[in-house]
Amino acid sequence: MLKPTVIYYRGISYGLQHYFYYKKNKNSLISTYSVLDFDSEEDLDNVSLSDEKLAEYWKNIDNLNIKNWKKDYFYGEDEPEPLTDGYSWELRLRNPDGKVIISKGYEKFPRNFNKFIKELNKLFKTNIKKI
């Protein structure tokens, strides 16, 4: 039996929170997202995503090679201390084939991170600004 498809993303900074959680298996669906910043707040439970929209999302994720992202993006010992209220993020994906991707960071990002954010915006119809 295949495990559920999962899209989980959390990004937090001072005055800013992005949270997406989508889980779907054969018999159930859990979906929620919340985007909060100083200017606006969106909160929606049980987002309806078509199979076609999800298939396009996974195709685009594959094209971004997110599977090749490092597990951790943090500053090393030889680098300057990051901002105290910087952006912390975490990504957990399980595609329909069961492949798991886990990546996280603090004030450091993969090169194509904003393209990934663009795909989240398209999927959930949100407007997270580029990091």
Enumerate the β-bridge partners of residue 66.
Answer: none
In tens, the pLDDT along 41-71 reads 555 555 667 889 889 999 999 999 999 999 9
Residues 6+ apart with CB under 8 A from 33: 19, 20, 21, 22, 42, 43, 44, 47, 124, 126
Q: Per-residue pLDDT tens for 1-28?
A: 567 888 989 888 877 777 788 887 765 5
* pLDDT for position 28: 56
The domain limits of the chain are 5-124
What pTM, to 2 d.p., does this model score?
0.82
The token pair that represents 15 in the structure block: 């005055």
Q: What is the pLDDT of residues 65-106, one digit of tens each?
A: 999 999 999 887 777 776 677 889 999 999 988 999 999 999
Side by side, the strands of the sheet bearing 88-94 are: 41-45, 29-36, 16-24, 5-13, 88-94, 100-106, 72-73
CA atoms lying within 13 Å on the CB side of residue 2: 15
Look at residue 110 in the predicted model and tell me its pLDDT. Answer: 96
Task: Please provide the CATH number assigned to the domain covering 5-124.
Answer: 3.30.1560.10
